[in-house]
Amino acid sequence: MIHSSSGVRITPRLRHDFTVTGVEKHLATARRATSELDPDTGEERAAQMVTCAPDAIYTLLERNGVVGDLALPGTPDGKAG
């Protein structure tokens, strides 16, 4: 916890457990998300970029603004307001 003149900054750490029951469906969803993030990325390139579950999870977190360039303020990669 950090105290400052404008208040107290609290940084909660959250854990999310994921169960993937359909790996191919999970990879396909992440590959579509890759194309949403960069419309110039074709299906073949998206398949090369997303090859495993960790790639897929990171891509989906990025698309949802948790990490990466689209990260929302207050998230680990987000810029302060």
pLDDT above 70 (res 75)? no
List pLDDT tens digits, range 4-58: 666 777 777 777 777 888 889 999 999 999 998 899 999 999 999 999 989 999 8
Give me the pLDDT at residue 32, please: 94
Give me the pLDDT at residue 72, please: 59
Using alpha carbons, select from 52, 61, 65 the residue that is nearest to residue 20: 52
Using alpha carbons, select from 33, 61, 73, 63 the residue that is nearest to residue 49: 33
Give me the pLDDT at residue 74, please: 57
pLDDT above 90 (res 65)? no
Give me the pLDDT at residue 81, please: 43
16: in domain? no
Q: DSSP 3-state helix, strand, coil percentages of the chain (rounded to 5)?
A: 40, 5, 50
7: in domain? no
Question: What is the rounded end-to-end Cα distance, in angstroms, of the chain?
Answer: 18
Q: Which residues form the domain of 36?
A: 22-73
1: in domain? no
Give me the pLDDT at residue 19, please: 80
Do 46 and 68 form a contact (C-beta atoms < 8 A)? no
User: How many structural domains compose the chain?
Assistant: 1
CA distance 20 to 8: 38
